[in-house]
Amino acid sequence: MPPLSEQVILITGASSGIGEAIARRLAPSGARLILTARRAERLQALAAELDPTGARVAAFPADLTRAEHREALVTGTVARFGRIDTLINNAGYGQRGPVERVPLEAIRHNFEVNVFAVVALCQLVAPILRDQGRGRIVNITSVAGRIARPLTSVYDSTKHALEALSDGLRGELKPFGVQVVVIRPGFIATDFVTAASAASAGTLADLGPYTPYMSRLRDGFADLRRLAAGPDVIARCVEHALRARRPRAHYAAPIHAKLFLAARWFFPSRVVDWFIRLRPRPD
């Protein structure tokens, strides 16, 4: 791989949270960055702040669920910077609610953003990386890609799918000099909860018999969110994976993410199920 300072890096979901933090951390290295997400103004403001000359950091607004946007993004990146060295698949959001009550359309959309858009981007970028004989794909999954919980299992299953996809892709691309890395964030203080609540508003408005359980779960999340680290902890992890000559297959951060993953591995499902069981909110 060329040194970070010479790489062309495409970052999805760069308009806020973890993606924005990754852009802020990588920009000073001198790497050329393409920042993408739907909110054009936020992206453009970030690109202008990181590189007022416009020579090294560019905003490319796109809705990643749309094939024509994805194609324009990849061809636009190559037209602008001549190649792509690293693809960071970070864009994503959470769909909440009991499986029984989340409309199939909402489940499909969560998979469109968190899984199919990633698959499609990999299909567009992998041939470029293969032809170069080198490159990296970094997929931001989640602790929820290893531990599925009641009432968030739609989102959790998208991240489980991305984990499996990444593991398979790593083996497929290895002979061609392309490395695939998974980063598993724990609780990170970003707009994620706000976006998840907005995406799930329809479902959450009428939960029927699940209502007291969801209320209690919200309280539990609020408690756990006190563990949340700032998004730069994940950006540092990404930078580490990009600078490593031989990156690990999986990284997790912050420390609570490593502890949850270790507990999932160590304890039998019965114990994990008990720990994450639904409890009604007391009246």
Ligand X SMILES: NC(=O)c1ccc[n+]([C@@H]2O[C@H](COP(=O)([O-])OP(=O)(O)OC[C@H]3O[C@@H](n4cnc5c(N)ncnc54)[C@H](OP(=O)(O)O)[C@@H]3O)[C@@H](O)[C@H]2O)c1
- Residues known to be catalytic: 155
Q: Do 280 and 213 touch, CB atoms closer than 8 A?
A: yes
Q: How far is the CA of 202 from the CAs of 38, 101, 150, 197, 206, in angstroms?
A: 22, 10, 18, 9, 7
Cβ-closest position to ligand X: 17
Residues 173-212 that bind ligand X (CB under 6 A): 185, 187-188, 190-192, 195
Applying CB under 6 A, does 17 fall inside the site for ligand X?
A: yes
Report d(CA 240, CA 29) in Å as an integer.
12
Q: Which is nearer to ligand X, 129 or 238 (CB)?
A: 238
Nearest residue (CB) to ligand X, 44 versus 65: 65
- Total residues contacting ligand X (rule CB under 6 A)? 26
Applying CB under 6 A, does 254 fall inside the site for ligand X? no
> If residue 270 lies in a helix (H) or strand (E), which one and from where to where?
helix 269-275
- Sole binder of ligand X in the list 10, 11, 19, 161 (CB under 6 A): 19
Question: Could you tell me the two tokens for 38?
Answer: 């739907």
Beta strands 8-12; 32-36: pairing state: parallel
Give the footprint of ligand X on residues 91-130 (CB under 6 A).
Answer: 91-93, 113
140 interacts with ligand X by CB under 6 A: yes
Q: What gap in Å lies between CA 144 and CA 149, rounded to an integer? A: 8
Choose among 132, 156, 139: nearest CA to 217: 156
CB of 177: closest distance to ligand X in angstroms? 26
Q: In what order do the strands lie in the sheet with 32-36?
A: 57-59, 32-36, 8-12, 86-89, 135-140, 178-185, 250-253
Q: How far is the CB of 87 from ligand X (least distance, A)?
A: 14
* Interaction of residue 251 with ligand X, rule CB under 6 A: no
What part of residues 35-54 is at the interface with ligand X (CB under 6 A)? 37-39
Nearer to ligand X, 84 or 188 (CB): 188
Site of interaction with ligand X (CB under 6 A) = 13, 15-19, 37-39, 63-65, 90-93, 113, 140, 142, 185, 187-188, 190-192, 195
